Amino acid sequence: MVELLTSAQMRAIEVAEIENGAVTGLELMERAGRGVVEAMEAEWPELRHAGGRAVVLCGPGNNGGDGFVVARLLKERGWTVLVGLWGDAERLPPDARANHDRWLAVGEVLSLLDYDSSGALDRMVELAGGKDDPPLYVIDALFGTGLKRALPAEEFSGLAMLGVHLDDLWIENGPMTYFVSVDLPSGLCADSGRILLSLDGENPLPPEEIDQDPRFAAIMASLTVTFHAPKLGHVLGDGPRMCGKLRVVDIGLPHIFPQLRDVTDASHGWYTRCLEKYRSNKYGNGSALVLAGGAGRGGAARLAARGALRVGAGLVTVGCPRDALTENAARLDAVMLREIGDASALRRVLQDRRIGAVCLGPGLGTGERQAGLVAAALGMPVPGLTRDLSGGVGEGSGGGPGASPGRGLVLDADALTILSRDTALFGALHKRCVLTPHGGEFARLFPDIAEKLAAPATTGPAYSKVDATREAAVRAGCVVLFKGADTVIAAPDGQCAVNSAHYEWAAPWLATAGSGDVLAGFIAGLMARRFAPFEAACAGAWLHVECAREFGPGLIAEDLPEMLPAVFRRLGV
């Protein structure tokens, strides 16, 4: 299980090891600098055989200390190295100051505070050379995980413009400059992946224009080298875009800190063994019900049903109104079909205790009839029934004495819109539910939380997608899966995971109509197989990306379920 750490958790691990005498701060800094150099050589193997040219930008804290180590090690390998310091050497932390002084034995330190008059810019541009020279490597060791505030615009503008000058040096076949960030691209919040902004009153900018102004942007890296474990900021928000490629370097710290376990990386598939099937009877492997819309609106539900069946549910049924029966019958074979026209019919169907999970929302519609279906699925009273036909969906659902304690409920798409309009329905959510909103649906369900997430980030730790999803899960009383390339899954008890489809695990082909419906089906199928809601959501999101990567470019939603057999074989399931 891979942990995603906050900056405070990373610091706590380092401090604990230093205080118990296992390592010194200087030793950690040396390991970190060596790790950066080795990561550069792994990324660009040609650097192992010939020295290069580097500009090392050091900041006023321990991240700058790492930079001084990198500079010294590159110099020892025969590189031509220029070092600039943003800050006052007299105010550096002790370990960083020690490495600053070590560097002074072999090189000089240029001032970045006034890079123009100090001659730093001219020296760096001269080092960059012309279009026929090999690339220049710029090491960004300015501000790492400890950054808590945005630099005032008048301060950061000079630094950012220096980066622009260097980044504008191009050769015919590619960039002249490669940026390598130490731990985290400077200006990025380690806990949220958001760029920390200095919004001065004299020059306000709307959020959508901030990325276009170099005074308000973090440094964008070609390669980011972090230590011990990935941080939340590497996988959330702007993090992946700003980090370029990410390499995690072992610096000899222990990986067992149970008290710090907080957010896991769902993309590492820690539930693989649970996907194996042991039971020989189809009902033993779970039965799922997917509700469909009317005539001409059944495609989304059929995608969800196919996903539930392929992920291993023993029996999957599509329930639809009478006018959609013929259409669905023509498109379904292994998936069963049943007429379910209204809430009363759904209540009667849910008397079958073998149905372990219900999925509703994809293509459902948002009218009064559909709201009644959501109410029935949540175990709420259905007007017009003379007796309790409760087939509720779990503990705490208000479903009455007939409620099934093990039945899960996946609410997606139109069902989320219905929930956002009806506080009574929202209040009936319970711990066996999974909500799967994308950004727009999340904003309708949790407008105040979405507003906090959308507000400019000016201090760190900035409010993150993890914070937002956790807050939403507590409010809803159930699992919330907040979709995106940085999908976050949170449970009301505090469990949280990030399923990051970035770096070598990127799957841009998932941005296609219907892919979210398949994801809802995956989760419903896993819940029918007795996966707990949080584990079902994590596994479903992970498999969703694995299927997209298995197929590759050209993917459409129909392809996703058909990739599961290949994914399972590769996993040894």
State residue 273's pLDDT score: 59
> What is the model's pLDDT at position 254?
86
Q: Do 121 and 61 share a domain, yes or no?
A: yes
Nearest of 481, 524, 514 to residue 359 by alpha carbon? 524
Q: Angle at the Cα of 231 (from 498 to 198), degrees rounded to 5?
A: 105
Taking the C-alpha atoms of residue 102 and residue 333, their distance in angstroms, rounded to an integer, is 73
Beta bridge partners of 499: 487
Q: Which position has the higher pLDDT, 34 or 195?
A: 34
Q: Which of 215, 231, 261 is the last residue of a domain?
A: 261
Structure tokens at 254: 């222990």
Position 389 pLDDT exceeds 60: no
- Write the CATH number for 371: 3.40.1190.20
Place of tokens 């976050």: 488
Nearest-angstrom CA–CA distance, 476 and 554: 37
Residue 314 per-residue DSSP state: S
Reported as a pLDDT band with limits 50, 70 and 90, residue 333 is very high
Split at pLDDT 50, 70, 90, the class of 390 is: very low
Count of structural domains, the chain = 2
Predicted local confidence at residue 263, as pLDDT? 82
Q: Is pLDDT of 534 > 80?
A: yes
For residues 14 and 396, which has the higher predicted lDDT (pLDDT)? Answer: 14
Here the tokens at position 265 are 């990386």
Mean pLDDT of 342-370: 95
- The confidence score (pLDDT) of residue 394 equals 38
In this structure, the answer to whether residues 311 and 388 fall within a common structural domain is yes
pLDDT at 122: 81
What's residue 400's pLDDT? 32
- Of 261, 278, 299, the one marking the end of a domain is 261
Count of other CB atoms within 10 angstroms of residue 241: 17
Rounded Cα gap, residues 182 and 166, in angstroms: 18
Q: How many CB atoms lie within 10 A of CB 258?
A: 6
- The answer to whether residues 355 and 346 touch, using CB atoms and an 8 Å cutoff, is no
Tokens of 293: 């819309």
pLDDT by residue (tens digit) across 40-79?
999 999 998 877 899 999 999 999 999 999 999 999 999 9
Do the beta carbons of residue 496 and residue 490 sit within 8 Å? yes
Number of Cβ within 10 Å of residue 541's Cβ equals 26
Residue 465 Cα distances to 76, 151, 238, angstroms: 43, 23, 11
Placement of tokens 């960059």 in the chain: 128
Select from 93, 85, 118, 87 the least CA-distant residue to 28.
Answer: 93
Q: Percent of the chain at pLDDT above 90?
A: 70
Mean pLDDT in residue range 353-378: 95
CATH at 128: 3.40.50.10260
State yes or no: cis peptide before 461, omega within 30 of 0: yes
**200 and 129 within one domain:** yes
User: What does the pLDDT average to over 200-208?
Assistant: 56
Q: Model pTM? A: 0.90
- Residue 341 pLDDT greater than 50, yes or no: yes
Q: What is the pLDDT of residue 506?
A: 93
Both 127 and 253 in one domain: the answer is: yes
Q: List, for residues 154-165, the tens digit of each pLDDT value.
A: 555 556 666 666
At 457, the pLDDT band (50, 70, 90 cuts) reads confident
300 in the same domain as 222? no
> For position 181, what pLDDT does the model report?
96
Nearest to 521 by CA among 281, 317, 262: 317
Among 261, 286, 308, the domain-final residue is 261
| Interstrand relation of 136-141 and 53-58 (parallel, antiparallel or unpaired) | parallel
**What tokens does 493 get?**
């008890």
CB under 8 Å to 553, separation ≥6 — which residues? Answer: 509
The answer to whether residues 307 and 409 belong to one domain is yes
pLDDT at residue 402 tops 50: no
Residue 359, both tokens = 């999925």
| 299-321 pLDDT tens trace | 999 999 999 999 999 999 999 99
Where does the pLDDT of residue 507 fall: very low under 50, low under 70, confident under 90, or very high at 90 and above? Answer: very high
Quick one: 158 and 295 in the same domain? Answer: no
Task: State residue 119's pLDDT score.
Answer: 80
Token match 């060791």: residue? 141
Q: Which has the closest alpha carbon to 407: 276, 256, 250, 289? A: 289
- The pLDDT value recorded for residue 216 is 52
| pLDDT of 391 over the 60 cut | no
Q: Are residues 256 and 293 in the same domain?
A: no
Q: What is the pLDDT of residue 209?
A: 61
Token pair of 432, please? Answer: 């066996």
Residue 261 has pLDDT above 60, yes or no: no
Give 259's pLDDT tier (boundaries 50, 70, 90).
very low
442 pLDDT tier (thresholds 50, 70, 90): very high
| Maximum alpha-carbon separation in the chain | 90
The mean of the pLDDT values for the chain is: 86
What whole-number distance in Å separates Cα of residue 236 and Cα of residue 305?
Answer: 30
522, pLDDT greater than 70: yes
State the average pLDDT over residues 279-290: 80
Residue 151, domain extent: 3-261
Q: Confidence class of residue 386 from pLDDT cuts 50, 70 and 90?
A: very low
**Cα–Cα distance between 318 and 96 in angstroms, integer?**
64
* Same structural domain, 255 and 271: no
Shared domain for 96 and 183, answered yes or no, is yes
What is the C-alpha separation between 398 and 26, in angstroms, rounded?
A: 59
Same domain for 203 and 345, yes or no, is: no
Three-state SS for 434? strand
- Euclidean distance between CA atoms 79 and 71, whole angstroms: 9
In this prediction, residue 551 has a pLDDT band, given cuts at 50, 70 and 90, of very high
pLDDT greater at residue 69 or residue 176: 69
Q: What is the average pLDDT across 404-430?
A: 91
CA distance 517 to 359: 10
Q: Summarize pLDDT for 557-566 with one digit per residue, the tens.
A: 999 999 999 9
Q: What pLDDT sits at residue 264?
A: 80
Rounded to whole angstroms, the Cα distance separating 422 from 429 reads 12
For residue range 240-253, list pLDDT tens digits in order: 999 999 999 999 99
| Confidence band of 173 (pLDDT split at 50, 70, 90) | very low
Q: Are residues 444 and 337 in the same domain?
A: yes
Q: What pLDDT, on a 0 to 100 scale, did the predictor assign at position 172?
A: 47
Mean pLDDT of 271-276: 65
Q: Which segments of 362-485 are extended strands (E)?
A: 408-411, 433-435, 479-482
Q: Is the pLDDT of residue 468 over 80?
A: yes
The answer, yes or no, to whether residue 387 has pLDDT greater than 50, is no
